[in-house]
Amino acid sequence: MKRQALIFLLLGLFSLTSSTTKKTGSTFSYKVYGNFANFFESENDLLGFFEFKKGDIVAEIGANKGQNIGGLLLLTDSLTFYAQDINTHTLNQKNVDKVIRQCEKYKKPLTGKLNLCIGTEKSSNLPDATFDKLFLSATFHEFTFMDEMIADISRKLKKNGKLYILESTCLNKAHKNYTADETTAIMKKHNFRLVKKDGKDLNGATGLYRMVYAKDN
């Protein structure tokens, strides 16, 4: 009897582990989590950095096809997300639907909401005073009109809202790379206060940093 009980216990643990793995994705990879896989070592590392709370409204500027938010839909419940970009060839309903289908292989139903927003080089076109969290993942160095975009981001955040910047050295010579200190100096100019700085080089990246800024009103 004891042997049978042990077998049933082991089978139950195997079933629970398999279910959890299916829900969150088999591996922490680009295919499932977008370029977050270049900045975080695991799901727990990602969640510990962002500290999502129930009811958060979150936007990504420079969302490409929405892969990063797809990963967040797997790891969170009942949050509202906005995917924003200026390129309709990458950010469009067709590509987002593809990301959603990929996510549903690991978690169904998805409980979060996902909205699309197309902006310009000077304006995100996101709704004002709406967001608890806004993040840039390998996007900060892409801004042509830096001051205009940071001022725009400030308007989009709620009071006490936070901005998350993930960066590493970009090899495209057309883009300017910013050190962590240079990024903080720019943000300070727009009344953002550095809350957290961490990160280490992963997957061949160099100069990687992860920053959190609070909006000082």
Q: What is the mean pLDDT of residues 185-207?
A: 94
Q: What is the mean pLDDT of residues 64-79?
A: 96
User: What confidence tier does 19 reach under pLDDT thresholds 50, 70, 90?
Assistant: very low
Q: What is the mean pLDDT of residues 161-188?
A: 93
Closest by Cα among 143, 206, 146 to 171? 206
Query: What's the pTM value of the predicted model, to 2 decimals?
Result: 0.87
Edge-first strand order for the sheet with 131-137 is 113-118, 80-85, 57-61, 131-137, 157-167, 209-215, 192-198
- Mind listing the domains of the chain with CATH numbers? 26-215 (3.40.50.150)
User: What confidence tier does 171 reach under pLDDT thresholds 50, 70, 90?
Assistant: confident
Report pLDDT digits (tens) over 129-145. 999 999 999 999 999 99
d(CA 114, CA 66): 9
Report pLDDT digits (tens) over 89-143. 999 999 999 999 999 999 999 999 999 999 999 999 999 999 999 999 999 999 9
Strand 80-85 and strand 113-118: the pairing is parallel
Q: Is the pLDDT of residue 11 over 50?
A: no
Q: If you count them, how many residues does the chain have?
A: 217
Burial degree of 97 (CB within 10 A; 0-12, 13-18, 19+): exposed
User: What confidence tier does 216 reach under pLDDT thresholds 50, 70, 90?
Assistant: confident
* pLDDT at position 24: 52
